[in-house]
Amino acid sequence: MVNSDNRSGMETPFRFFKLSNIIIAALFILWTVGCFWFFQSKFRYHFFFIEQNQLFLNSPDCLSAYFNKPAWLACMAGDWAQQFYHFKLAGPAVLALSLLIFGIFAFLSLRECVPAKAKSFLRDWCPAIAALALMTVEARLYLYENARLCTLYALGGGIMLWYAYHCITEDFSRRRWAGIIINSVIFIALAAVCYIMFGYGALAFIALELLSSPAGRRIPAGAVISIVLAFCLSGKVCTHYRMEPKDALLYPGLGRWVDATKAKGVEDLLTYSIEYSRRNYKGIINLYEHSRNAKTPEMSFFYSASAAQLGILPDKLLKMKKPNLGTFIHLDSKSNLFTIEMAAELYYLIGDMTYTERACMHANNFSPTKRCASLIKRLAEANLVIGDFEGAEKYLRQLRRSFIYREWAEDHTPGSFSEKVQRELDYKRQFINNANEIRIGDNCHTILTGLLDANRNNIVALDYLLCTDIIANQKGMFMRDYQKYGPRDCELYNRIVK
Amino acid sequence: MRKSIILIAAAALFAACAPSNVTEVEGQAPMYPDYTDITIPVNIAPLNFLLDDGASRVCVTIDGKTYSNRRSGDARFSEKAWHSLLAGNEGKTLEIKVYSRGKDGWKQYAPFTWTVSPDKLDPYLTYRLIEPDYEAYNNIVLQQRCIENFRTDDFSDNRVIGNKCMNCHTYCGQDPAASMFYVRGPGGGAILNLDGQLQKLSIKGEDMISGSVYFGFSPSRRYIVFSANKIIPGYHAQSIRRMEVFDTKSDLYVADMQEHKFIRSSTVTDTDMLETFPAFSPDGKYIYYCKAPQIDTVTLDNIETQKYSLCRVAFNEETGTIGDTVETIYDAAKENKSVCHPRVSPDGRLICFSIADYGTFPLWHREADLMMMDLETGRQIPMTEANSDGSESYHSWSSNSRWLVFASKRDDGVYGKPYFCHVDEDGNCSKSFVLPQKHTEYYNNLLRSFNAPELGKGPLPFTTYDVKEALEQDAVTFN
C-alpha cells in the first residue's frame, strides 16, 4: 500500500492522518453507530428471525456443500456470522461492523478511481460520499426479513480483492507490454477466483478495474478479456452450477428492496412470533391489547395461542376483531412458510405430535435454507414427547454440531434430560393421542376431538375446539362438543350454553 | 533397488503409524455406519465411518496394515489404496482393527471382518432424494451415484424443470439405455429414455382411474406393465406410526410402447379387487403383482385387515396378451402378511418382496421386512441378516442376481437410506450395509430420504437439461 514516490496517490501512514481523512473516519464511525442504533431499535426481531431460519453446522459435509454454488466464501462467512444473530445486540452489531468494513474498502477502492493529483474534494470527499451512499443502500436492503449477509459479503469480497490486486500490481503495471500482460493474466485468474469465492462480487471486481484505468493511465486489458471470457464460458458455468444465467450472474443475489412500512409491519409480526417462542405470553397479550397498530391474522393467532397457554382463550376470544385461532389452516404446496410455521405451533400446543412433525417438515422444506434451527428443535421435541428417541437423536445430533444449540441439545439428550426438560416432556406426554385411528386431511375438528377423546383434561384442545365452533358460528356443534367434552367454567361458554 | 528402498520406507511409515500402548476393550467399535462383519462387493467405494466415542484420533488397520490414521473422530480411506486392497483380496476375509485415542490414551476395539465378494455390484445407483413428508415437495432431485467412488450427479432436478414433482426412476433390467420416470403436474408425463433419446408419454386411458403409477418393463422393452391407483394419504393418531398410504382403487394394464396402445384384461382389472406393484419376470412370460380385496369404508380397522397376496399371470410378448389364470404365489390370508414390490432376480430363480402386517405402503411400517422366495421350489427364505427393526422396502436387484439394494429406515425411523446385501445362489443373504459416503457425517446431517434405489450397469445418458427439453415436447398418447 505504501508507495515510495507516492505516484499512485496511495497514502503514506503519515498523510493518512490529515484532517479530511480524520473527518471521514469520524463520519464512517458515526454512520456505523447510527446504523447499529437504527436496526437495534427498529428491526431487532428481523435478525433473530433470520437466525432461527438457518442452522450453521460445523461439519465437513455441510461446509463442503458451499462449494456446489458460486460465492462459497461469501455464503459460508455470511451464514457463519448470521448464527450470532441469536444473541441480544449481536445482529445489528454484526451488520453494522460488516457494513463499516465494506464501506472502508469501497472508499479506498473508489479513491483509486480518481487521479492522484486531483483536489481533496475529488480525491477524498467524493469517494467517501459514494462509499457512505453505498453503505446506506446496502443497509437499506437489510429491512427485508430474509436478507442474508452473504449478499453484502459477496460485494465486499469483490471490492476487497480488487483493492488487494491493485495494491500488489500497481508497480509493474507501468512497465508497458510486460506489465500489461502480467497484469492481465493475474487479473483474469483473480476474476475467476473472485467469482468462485464471491459470486457477483466479480462484477464489482471488473467494474473497479474499468473505472480506475483512466486515473492510473492503464489499459484495462484484463477486465475486457475477463468480460469476453465470462460471456463465452457462461453456458459451461451455468451447467456446472446448475443455474439459470441470470441467477448465475448475480449469485448470491443483490438483495431485496422492500417498502419500509411493509418492513415495519413484518417486524411487528415477528415481535409476536419471537416473543411467543420465548414464552412471553403475557407480554404478547399486553402488546396486542395496547398496541394501536392494525392487527393482522398472524398477530391474532399468536395472541390466541398465548391466551391458550395461559388458559384464558375464551376470555380473550371476543377481544379480537377478526379472531384467527389457526384451526382453519390447511397445508398444501401453496401454503406460505409463516402459515406452515403457525400450524406447527398450533399442533404442538394442542398436543398432536403427528401433525406437529408433518408441519415442521413441511415448513423446513419450504424454508430458504431447508434447515431451520427453530424447526429442527421442534422436531426433536416432538419425537421426545412421543418417546421416539432414535427419531429425536437425528435432530439432536445436528443441533450438537452447531455452536449456538449445543447446550440445548445436551439438555434434551435422552438419559441426561435436565430437570426442566423432563418436567416439560412429562407435561406434554399427558395430552398425546394414542388411539388406534387414522385421520385423512387436516380437519382440526377431527384432530381436536381425537385429542379430547384421549385425554379429557386437555383444556387447551377443549378451548380451541369450542372457540373454533364459536367463530365458525356453529352453535349446534358447540353445544354437542360442550356436552360431550365439557363442562368448562368460563363466562363466554356459560353465556352461550344458557 | 531404489523402488525397494521406497517400499521399505513406506512400509516403515505405515508400521510407525500403528499405535502403541494400546488398551484392548471389549465390544464392537461404536461406529456409524455399522460396517462390522459384512460381505462387500469388490468394487465398492471406501467404507468410511465415524467413531462415536469422542476420539481425537482414529487408526484403522486391515490385515495388520494401517489404512487410515486421522486426527479426527472418523476413519477415511484413500480411494486408490482401498481399491487395490479389495482387488488383491477377492474372495478373502479381511480382519479390521479399530484404534481410538481418547483422554486415557489409545484403546482397541474388538476386531471385525469384511469378506470381499468377487461378485461385482452394478456400478450405478439411481434414487430420488426427497423430504420424507411426501404430501408436499419442494426440493426433489433424481440422482445417480457411482458406487465405486463418491461421484454423484443429478439427472433430473425439479428446480430446473419448473418445480414439478418427480417419481421414481426405473430401468429396463439394469440397462441405462432404457429407463423411465414420471414428472407429475401440468406439462408433465412419463419420460422414457431409449438410448439417450428422451420422449414424453401420456400413459393414461380415459377409462383409467389415474395415470401410470407403479410400472415395470418387459425384457424386450416393448411393453410396460403398470398400475393405475387411487392413492389416499392418512395420518395416524399414534405419532410413532406417522403416516399410512393406501389405495381405494387400483388396476393393472399393459402399454405397448411400439404401437402406443393399451392392453387390458379383466383378469387384472377386477373391480372387487385391488391390483398393484406389477413387474415382469426376466423372461417376459409372467407378470407378478400384488392383489387384495377392496375395502368398503376407510377406517383404520378396515385398512389393517387389508393384506395383499403375491400373484402372477401369464403374458405373451409375441401376441401381447395377458393370460386368464391367476396363480397365487404367496397367500396373504394364510401367512397373515401383506406383500409389496415383488421383484424377480435377473436369473429368474428368486423373487424378493416386502412383507408388512397390512396395507400397501411398507415405507412407514416399522415391521416391514424383505422376504425371499425360491421360484422353483416355492421355499420362503427369511432375510433375517439383511432386515432390521426398522422398515425395509423398495428393493432392486443387481444384474448378476448376487446383490440387492433396498431402502431402510433402521437408523431413525423416518429417513430412508440405501442398504446393500449379498445374496448367494441359494437365496441366503448377508448382513446389509449402507451406501458409503465420502463425508462420514453425511447421513447424520441429511434431511432427505433416499427413495426407490435402483441399480444400473452404467451411467444414464441424459441430464436434467435433456429432461427439461423433453418436457417441452407434446406427449405421445396411447389408445
For residue B240, the distance in angstroms to the closest alpha carbon of chain A comes to 7
pLDDT (tens place) for every residue of chain B, 479 residues total = 455 555 455 444 444 456 878 899 989 999 999 999 999 999 999 999 999 988 999 999 999 999 999 888 999 999 999 999 999 999 999 999 999 999 889 999 999 999 999 999 999 999 999 988 756 677 789 999 999 999 999 999 888 888 788 888 999 999 999 999 999 888 899 999 999 999 999 999 988 999 899 999 999 999 999 999 999 999 999 999 999 999 999 999 999 999 999 999 999 999 899 999 999 999 999 999 999 999 888 788 889 999 999 999 999 999 999 999 999 999 999 999 999 999 999 999 999 999 999 999 999 999 999 999 999 999 999 999 999 999 999 999 999 999 999 999 999 999 999 999 999 999 999 999 999 999 999 999 999 999 999 999 999 999 998 999 999 999 999 98
A454 touches chain B (CB under 8 A): yes
Chain B: residues touching A (Cβ < 8 Å): 131-133, 135-139, 154, 157, 159-160, 232-240, 242, 244, 298-300, 303, 411-415, 437-439, 441-442, 444-445, 447, 464-465
Q: Cβ(A435)–Cβ(A447) under 8 Å?
A: no
Which residues from B are below 8 Å from A332, CB to CB?
135-136
Q: Do A433 and B237 touch (CB under 8 A)?
A: yes
User: Cell numbers of B148, please?
Assistant: 465405486
Q: Is the dihedral of CA A133, A135, A137, A139 positive or negative?
A: negative
| Chain B neighbors of A446, CB-CB under 8 A | none
Whole-angstrom Cα distance, residue B19 to residue A316? 69
Distance (Å) from the C-alpha of residue B354 to the closest C-alpha of chain A?
23
**Any idea what DSSP says for residue A57?**
-
Q: What are the residues whose beta carbons fall under 8 Å from the beta carbon of A371, sequence distance 6 or more?
A: A54, A55, A57, A364, A398, B447
Q: Does A439 touch chain B (CB under 8 A)?
A: yes
Q: Is A66 exposed, middle or buried (0-12, 13-18, 19+ CB in 10 A)?
A: middle
Closest CA to A405 of A72, A75, A87, A45: A87
Among B159, B235, B437, select the one facing A438 at the smallest CB separation. B235
Residues 6+ apart with CB under 8 A from A121: none
DSSP type of residue A65:
G
A327 vs chain B: nearest CA distance in angstroms?
17
Residue A332 sits at the chain B interface (C-beta within 8 Å): yes
Q: Using a CB-CB distance cutoff of 8 angstroms, which residues of chain B are in contact with residue A366?
A: 136, 138
Beta partners for residue B313, in sequence order: B287, B326
Strand partners, B233: B245
Strand order in the sheet with B449-456: B152-157, B141-146, B124-130, B449-456
Q: E strand or H helix at A438, and its extent?
A: strand A438-439
Q: Tell me the three-class secondary structure of chain B, residue by residue.
A: CHHHHHHHHHHHHHHHHCCCCCEECCCCCCEECCCCCEEEECCCCCCCEEECCCCCEEEEEECCEEEEEECCCEECCCHHHHHHHHHCCCCCEEEEEEEEEECCEEEECCCEEEEEECCCCCCEEEEEEECCCCCCCCCCEEEEEECCCCCEEEEEECCCCCCCCECCCEEECCEEEEEEEEECCCCCEEEEEECCEEEEEECCCCCCCCCEEEEEECCCCCEEEEEEEEEEEEEECCHHHCEEEEEEEEEEEEEECCCCEEECCHHHCCCCEEEEEEEECCCCCEEEEEEEECCCCCCHHHHHHCCCEEEEEEEECCCCEEEEEEEEEECHHHHCCEEEEEEECCCCCEEEEEEECCCCCHHHCCCCEEEEEECCCCCEEECCCCCCCCCEEEEEECCCCCEEEEEECCCCCCCCEEEEEEECCCCCECCCEECCCCCCCHHHHCCCEEEEEEEECCCCCCCHHHHHHHHCCCCEECC
Chain B residues with beta carbon closer than 8 angstroms to that of A454:
237
Count of beta carbons in the 10 Å neighbourhood of residue B326: 18
The identity of residue A297, as a single letter, is P
Judged by a CB distance cut-off of 8 A, whether residue A415 touches chain B is no
Q: Measured between alpha carbons, how far is B191 from B195 in angstroms, rounded to an integer?
A: 13
Can you give the pTM of this predicted structure?
Answer: 0.92
ipTM: 0.92
Between residues 200 and 229 of chain A, which touch chain B (CB distance below 8 Å)?
none
A447: closest chain B residue by CA = B237
